[in-house]
Structure 1
Amino acid sequence: MKTMMQEISHETIETNSRGNNKMKKFTKILKNQKGLTLIELLAVIVILAIVAAIAVPSISGVIENSKYNAAKADAISVLNAAQLYYTDSPSAASGVTVATLKNEGYLETIGMIPDTATVASGTPKKLTTAAITYSGSKKITFTNSTIQSINVDTTKGSTSGDKTIN
């Protein structure tokens, strides 16, 4: 019995010393790790630069398209307000300005549409504006534009040149 206990305790001591050796090797390896190498860091920076170079131009196009569509939405709001105005005042003058629509409470805000823009009283109502800058140097002009002509316009705001909706 005594010899059996001695064997078990001897095996336990050997296992513990082997386990400790493995643990010492593992901690030594961990201590030798200093972090990313310069080449790894440069590779990450290059990948991020490539992703940014692809994403930035497409995002700016989306922003310009949104601003163009916002100008069109403002024009539709003005035309709807003019429809209400002419319904309430059938004997009104043949053209109402955006300033009048705002002052008389038919429009809460005018958005990008200038105060001097006019809406003709015929059917359908037609909006005429001066050139409106919607993004940088890009402009949109509404010339006798109806709600339908604005809605069927498929022009992208990010395309070059000034736009006119008739």
Structure 2
Amino acid sequence: MRQLIKQRIKNEKGLTLIELLAVIVILGIIAAIAIPSISGIIQNSKEDAVRADAITILNAAKNYAAANDVSGVSGGKITEKEINSSYVNNLKIKSFSVDVSGNDFKLITDPVDAGKNTIEFKSATISDINAKSETTVVVSKK
């Protein structure tokens, strides 16, 4: 009996070429599905990071306006110079201004790099940014 088991073990030499090819094809199919999906997730996270920075800027502008007389600042405008040092740091959005009219705060930026796209804010409020309004939040391909 033991001899029969030893003979069967000796006869098994591993995987056949067809079995190896089947495994490689399956791994290729999984990679073909996963890679584009992951790159889409990465792109969306880069765009969401820029939108989060924009909301941070508008909230910082509100804090700045509460602490200072905004009507005297550049005719109701707040720029990155006023709020960068004390209210926010390390943002992807470098050049911006916030128009202040009463309780309305509207963000205006140059185009900002967001992975494969650029995002530009044109008089965007927090509501516009959250709603991804196409009129005030312009996303364009590079």
How far apart in 2 are the matches of 1:87 and 1:64? 35
Match of 1:113 among 87, 93, 106: 93
Q: Deviations over 1:146-165 (max 9, x none)?
A: 0111111178xxxxx618xx
Aligned length: 133
- Which structure dedicates a bigger proportion of its chain to strand? 2
**Structure 1 residue 99: deviation in Å?**
3.4
Q: Deviations over 1:103-127 (max 9, x none)?
A: 2x11133x2111x210112221110
The letter for the 2-side match of 1:55 is A
Distance 1:59 1:154, change over 3 A: farther
Task: Structure 2: give runs of 5+ residues left out of the alignment.
Answer: none
Report the 3-state secondary structure (helix = DSSP H, G, I; strand = E; otherwise coil) of the residue aligned with 1:125: strand
The letter for the 2-side match of 1:96 is I
Write out aligned runs for 1:139-150 (5 A). Answer: 139-150=118-129
Determine the structure 1 residue equivalent to 2:53: 74
Determine the structure 1 residue equivalent to 2:104: 124
How far apart in 1 are the matches of 2:27 and 2:15? 16
Identical amino acids, percent of aligned pairs: 41
The letter for the 2-side match of 1:107 is V
Determine the structure 2 residue equivalent to 1:86: 65
Note if 1:100 corresponds to 2:78. Answer: no
Distance 1:152 1:33, change over 3 A: same
Q: Which contiguous aligned blocks of 4+ residues in structure 1 show a shift greater than 4 angstroms?
A: none
How far apart in 2 are the matches of 1:78 and 1:37? 61
Q: In terms of Rg, which structure is larger?
A: 1
How far apart in 2 are the matches of 1:61 and 1:87? 39
Task: Structure 1: give runs of 5+ residues left out of the alignment.
Answer: 1-21, 156-160
Report the 3-state secondary structure (helix = DSSP H, G, I; strand = E; otherwise coil) of the residue aligned with 2:88: coil
How far apart in 1 are the matches of 2:89 and 2:115? 23
How far apart in 1 are the matches of 2:40 and 2:115? 11
